Amino acid sequence: RYVSIFRPSVKLEAQQNKAPCKTMGPAKVAVPSPKNFLQKHSKEPKLPARKKEDSKKLPALSVPRRTDHPVMGIKSNKNFITANAVAAITGMPKKAQPMYVDRRQGEKYLLETSGLVPKYIFKKDYGVTPKYVTRRNEEIKRAQKEYEANVSEHLKTKAMKRLSDEERKSLVQGLKKKWEEVYHEFQGLPVQIDTISKKLRKEKLELQLKQLEHDIEELEKHKVIYITNE
């Protein structure tokens, strides 16, 4: 069996450094005195001592004191039964407050504070046109009058001519016919457009179709059209 040559030195070193109760604290501990035992409520916080108030400066009380005696001997000749009967007969009945129920269980709430009562219709300015709307309508009317005056002035000088309904309809029909011709030509384009000339032709036809659609829409939307003599 193998035995290390350092065994005696290790034993000697362990015996030299060893001390009794080294990891258990001091061997002797001071014993507490039996007079310092834990008393009841000793750990509760203590309030400061109450100051003595001056008995002469007492606050005014609104209720009678315990030592005060009521005034005796006061009598009333009022007949409370008759007075109550007269008040009940001549008095107005109490008006019931309008309520609403929001659940099936019957929970009631005041109707006035619910927002369901249209109080706004009783306002003084209810149904009155706002000032900005009136001002805007007046500006529109004034601009329309100026435009009509300008048109009439140009008509007097024969600088403008009004297009009749028949001319406008015939012009719309001619534009629609032209659109059908251009669209037929557009449909005749090849499916594969791989050359510059084909691309330019397609773009040209698309621009013509858009322009024709715009002109047709403007002529159909505006019933009164003026043209210049230039």
Closest CA to 175 of 208, 220, 218, 215: 215
Is the pLDDT at 82 greater than 90? The verdict is yes
pLDDT of residue 179: 92
Q: Identify residue 26 by its one-letter amino acid code.
A: P
Q: Are 150 and 160 in contact (CB under 8 A)?
A: no
Q: Which candidate, 141, 213, 223, places its Cα nearest to that of 175?
A: 213
| Whole-number Å distance between alpha carbons of 202 and 208 | 10
Domain ranges of the chain: 99-159, 161-227
Rounded-to-integer distance, Cα 9 and Cα 226, Å: 127
- CA–CA distances in Å: residue 181 to residues 36, 217, 223: 120, 18, 26
Torsion of CA 100, 104, 106, 109, to 10 degrees: -30
pLDDT > 70? residue 132: yes
Three-state DSSP at 160 gives strand
Of 40-49, 73-82, 86-95, 114-123, the range with the lowest mean pLDDT is 114-123
**Model pLDDT, residue 23:** 61
Tokens describing residue 98: 């309008």
Out of 37-41, 134-138, 151-155, 167-171, least confident range = 151-155
pLDDT at residue 207 tops 90: yes
In degrees, rounded to 5, the angle at the alpha carbon of residue 158 between the alpha carbons of residues 153 and 164 is 95
Give pLDDT, residue 48: 86
- Report whether 158 contacts 177 (CB < 8 A): no
Find how far residue 181's CA is from the centre of its chain.
Answer: 57
Measuring CA to CA, which residue among 129, 100, 104 is closest to residue 115? Answer: 100
| Higher-pLDDT residue of 160, 129 | 129
CB atoms within 10 A of CB 175: 19
DSSP E strands, 24-172: 99-101, 108-110, 160-163
